[in-house]
Structure 1
Amino acid sequence: MARTALDAITVTFDGHEAAANTVRRKREVLHSLLELAVEQKELPANPLHAIKWTPPKVAGGVDPRTVVNPEQARALLAAVPAIGRTRGRRLHGMFSCMYYAALRPEEAAGLRRQNCDLPEQGWGLLTVEKARPQANKRWTNSGETHDSRGLKHRAKDETRLVPIPPVLVAILRSHLDRYGVAADGRLFRTAKGRPFSSSAYSGVWQQARRAAFTAEQVVSPLAARPYDLRHAAVSLWLNAGVPATEVAERAGHSVDVLLRVYAKCIEGQQARANGKISEALDE
């Protein structure tokens, strides 16, 4: 039965092969469930420990083909406000936070007015303190689809400071002037005050891709998901020469995870390294 369960988590509901990350996550859940059964004396031992089963290998880094350059990112963001009657305009600031501040979608969804320092000129500052990930109502504490939670990989009340460029400051100031905030201070929500579902903002994103990209780019992995805006931001910072420690702090990564995940997206390092080695050899 345990082996049947392991085989079952490797496929989706429609019978297709599941992504490696999905299989890994489901195995972790299954393992925890069986450990609880052992703890409660329902099972004498965890049966997974006796089975030789190799999960699919998980890709360790970001696919460079998904990363847009600044010109492509600006074209995508410019296309968003034209989508739908008001949905695109309401989501423009949220997508902009993913690109210019490297926020995760759930972090942008949890952004409140009190988290934003938006001066009239110059750089601003976001204090990222809460995330609002989407889940089934059965699995949230509030009974809603979006629970307010702490930041990923951080202690419950830990925050993250992210300086933001003037272009994002202007976008957020304009958003606040047009839409104000929700009762709890949140910036991004539907016309009825609800958080945007992942299917809603993903649908807007796909329409923006079709409007901004060529036919070849639309069928490619380039910026296939809104989350790829975050990958583009972190890649841009690294390629601009921002120290890895500073990039990791702004993006909410550890340095080792940052370099492992984005190693393939760092361009121009080989020529720079060769130049430094040549200089050292000539001394």
Structure 2
Amino acid sequence: MRQALRNWAFVVPRPEQRTAPSDVRLALRWAERASRPLTDLMDPAVMRAVLQALRLKQDGTVAAAETQRHQRMTLVNAVRYAIEQGMLRGDPIANVSWRIAKTVKQVDPRVVANPAQARSLLCAVSYVGSHRRARGRRLVGLFAGMYYAGLRPEEAVAVTLPDCVLPAEGWGRAILHITRPQAGKKWTDTGRLHDECGLKGRPLGDTRPVPLPPELVAQWRESVLTFGTADDGRLFFNERGGILASSTYDRVWHEARELALPPGLLSTPLAARPYDLRHSALSTWLNAGVDPTEVAERAGNSVEVLMTKYAKCLYGRATIANQRIEALLDEYD
């Protein structure tokens, strides 16, 4: 049913139903018969039930606040379109008082890799695939950006050389302003696999400067010297110069874990996904005593979300705080 609705009913332009497989046609006909009239949304009780359903995931648990917000905006846009088309006489959402249930999913400390483990994993990436195809070697810098600079995968995929300062020595800098999330050809305005979007949670065109540690600068410089850049200046790309698909770097990462981790750790959640490199970076910075405001600025998060999300990954903070308080009090003895 979900596949039928996603691939045949909820796409524009909508494919001819007669060209769909028989099981898809049956599913769509059933959905049409089982669906309630759109005007039922004018009943506040019905509208509230719809809004309540938006709070939940498929397994019945509460979805993240950002997911709820996104789903509500999708519903709002659909309702506005229905009003424009004369299918609804008013806005049914305006009659219902409803708030997004605030939830913040905390990072599991078991996914966080320490610096030694992270370096071992990055080294293992370079051994994935043959040397000629360089399936792993061309992605070392991509994963290094997630760990050393705390980049999100869709940010790392979109980094371009003109937006970077990569000195021969010392720290560098990258100016982030676009992301390349993977949505699917049917769901992008261009008909391509990836959309070009702004930074997460920021207005389109906004930028975020990110300092690059010397170790990362060296890896990115080496990547440019070895593989060059894509036609649009992207540092990381597939063998044909296209945008990296998440399935591509996911496969490489899983193979690298098998090379780098001993059996006892391979079965654990340690760095199970590329995104866990970002979690590892932010946890490392916070535990190193970097000011949370600075960490939040580099990561593109709010301080509140940062400290709540990584609360379980902070070790020894109470001891450090106690020592600082004690030292301050001792000055006045």
Q: TM tier, shorter chain?
A: 0.7 to 0.9
What letter corresponds to residue 118 of structure 1 in structure 2?
Answer: L
Secondary structure, in 3 states, of the residue corresponding to 2:307? helix
Match of 1:194 among 239, 242, 263: 242
Match of 1:273 among 316, 321, 324: 321
What letter corresponds to residue 177 of structure 1 in structure 2?
Answer: L
- Structure 2-normalised TM-score? 0.74
- Between the two proteins, the alignment pairs up a number of residues equal to 279
- 1:180 is displaced (CA, Å) by 0.6
Alpha-carbon contact 2:114-2:280 (below 8 Å) kept: yes
Match of 1:31 among 72, 75, 78: 75
Taking the aligned partners of 1:19 and 1:82, their CA distance within structure 2 comes to 40
Taking the aligned partners of 2:317 and 2:117, their CA distance within structure 1 comes to 22
Match of 1:247 among 295, 304, 314: 295
1:102-251 matches, within 5 Å, as 102-251=150-299
- 1:251 is displaced (CA, Å) by 1.0
Alpha-carbon contact 1:10-1:23 (below 8 Å) kept: no
Structure 1 range deviating more: 234-243 or 3-12: 3-12
Structure 1 residue runs without a partner (length 5+): none
Alpha-carbon contact 1:38-1:45 (below 8 Å) kept: no
Report the counterpart of residue 112 of structure 2 in structure 1: 67
Q: Percent identity between the aligned chains?
A: 44
- 1:26 is displaced (CA, Å) by 7.2
- 1:159 is displaced (CA, Å) by 1.4
Alpha-carbon contact 1:131-1:150 (below 8 Å) kept: yes
Structure 1 range deviating more: 25-34 or 150-159: 25-34
Taking the aligned partners of 1:243 and 1:187, their CA distance within structure 2 comes to 30
1:81-96 matches, within 5 Å, as 81-85=126-130, 86-96=134-144
Alpha-carbon contact 2:113-2:270 (below 8 Å) kept: yes
- 1:68 is displaced (CA, Å) by 0.7
Taking the aligned partners of 2:263 and 2:94, their CA distance within structure 1 comes to 47
Structure 2 residue runs without a partner (length 5+): 1-35, 37-45
- Structure 1-normalised TM-score? 0.86
What letter corresponds to residue 63 of structure 2 in structure 1?
Answer: A
Alpha-carbon contact 1:125-1:162 (below 8 Å) kept: yes
Report the counterpart of residue 32 of structure 2 in structure 1: none
Alpha-carbon contact 1:114-1:185 (below 8 Å) kept: yes
Taking the aligned partners of 1:218 and 1:6, their CA distance within structure 2 comes to 39
- 1:59 is displaced (CA, Å) by 4.3
Cα offsets for 1:222-280 (capped at 9, x unmatched): 11110110111111111111111211111111222222222222221110122233345
- 1:49 is displaced (CA, Å) by 7.4
Taking the aligned partners of 2:194 and 2:259, their CA distance within structure 1 comes to 30
Taking the aligned partners of 2:287 and 2:79, their CA distance within structure 1 comes to 44
Taking the aligned partners of 1:88 and 1:211, their CA distance within structure 2 comes to 12
Higher relative contact order (CA 8 A, sep 6+): 1
Match of 1:20 among 45, 58, 63: 63
Structure 1 range deviating more: 238-247 or 103-112: 238-247
Alpha-carbon contact 1:9-1:26 (below 8 Å) kept: no
Alpha-carbon contact 2:55-2:62 (below 8 Å) kept: no
Secondary structure, in 3 states, of the residue corresponding to 1:278? helix
Taking the aligned partners of 2:226 and 2:67, their CA distance within structure 1 comes to 43
Rg bigger for which structure?
2
What letter corresponds to residue 20 of structure 1 in structure 2?
Answer: A
- 1:6 is displaced (CA, Å) by 6.9
What's the Cα RMSD here? 2.9
Alpha-carbon contact 1:95-1:226 (below 8 Å) kept: yes
Structure 1 range deviating more: 167-176 or 151-160: 151-160
- 1:18 is displaced (CA, Å) by 7.5
Taking the aligned partners of 1:207 and 1:59, their CA distance within structure 2 comes to 31
